[in-house]
Amino acid sequence: MKNILTLGVLLFALVATTFAQEEKSAAELKNDGNAALKTKDYKTALASYEAAIAAWGEEEMDAAMIYNTATCARKLKKDELSIKYFDQVKELGYKADIATYYKAKAYKNLEKEEEMEKTLLAGIEEFASSKYVAHMKKELATYYVKQANEFFTKGVSLLNTRTDTNRDQWDAIKGNAKTELDKATELANKAIGYQASNQAAQTIVTKSAELLK
């Protein structure tokens, strides 16, 4: 009988706790999220913020809370979710430049490089005076260098196929290599256009010219 009473008390406490949580207001849930975020408990913070969003009602959404929600998703590597909330942040006109940068980073993590490029290009144009433009340009330059390096490697590989036994094919081989190296140079120059100090891009341009002499 004692065990049954103990079990009943525990069940009652559990139900009461659950009910209390369900009865929390959106503001209380947001505060719970803020408290968890301060301790870097991103999982708890995200759950609290999303519960607050669901309970928010008709009043104007708290843009800072949405930004914090996106940040928690980013920290937890929930890239698709972070994109969703960073889009909302931008729509609310709150830290739109930072939101755009981190949205691009999320696309990069998802290996959606074309979407990343579009996001960065749009961000650079839209937020020309933002300090985050430098970060966007660096990301874009890195992306173009990665592409340039692929073409550069193909060009070098083609040139390395030349041997004494295929001298009659050297012109054709060089022509094919030039096509690849020209693409590499074009992309490397794009990278330099966004980040003049990018040494990898500068090296690709220089080495491509040397190889085609």
Residues 72 and 141 in one domain: no
pLDDT at 118: 98
Residues 138 and 187 in one domain: yes
Split into its structural domains, the chain has a count of 2
| Separation of alpha carbons 128 and 126, rounded Å | 6
Q: Which of 113, 143, 176 is the last residue before a domain boundary?
A: 113
Residue 101 falls in which region: left (phi positive, over 0), alpha (psi -120 to 50) or beta: alpha
As averages over each run of 10 residues, the pLDDT of the chain (213 residues) reads 44 44 84 98 98 93 98 98 98 97 98 98 97 97 98 97 94 96 98 97 98 90
Please compute, for residue 105, the number of CA atoms within 13 A of its CA located in the half-sphere on the CB side.
19
Which amino acid type is present at position 191? A
Residues 108 and 183 in one domain: no
Residues 99 and 142 in one domain: no
Residues 109 and 138 in one domain: no
pLDDT at 122: 98
pLDDT digit string (tens) for 110-127? 999 999 999 999 999 999
Give the other-Cβ count within 10 Å of 171's Cβ. Answer: 9
The verdict on residue 95 lying in a domain is yes
The verdict on residue 152 lying in a domain is yes
The verdict on residue 11 lying in a domain is no
Find how far residue 16's CA is from the centre of its chain: 41
Domain that holds residue 145: 131-213
pLDDT at 58: 87
Residues 32 and 96 in one domain: yes
Residues 103 and 141 in one domain: no
Residues 102 and 160 in one domain: no
- Write out the H or E segment, with its range, that includes residue 34: helix 26-38
| CATH at 42 | 1.25.40.10
The verdict on residue 60 lying in a domain is yes
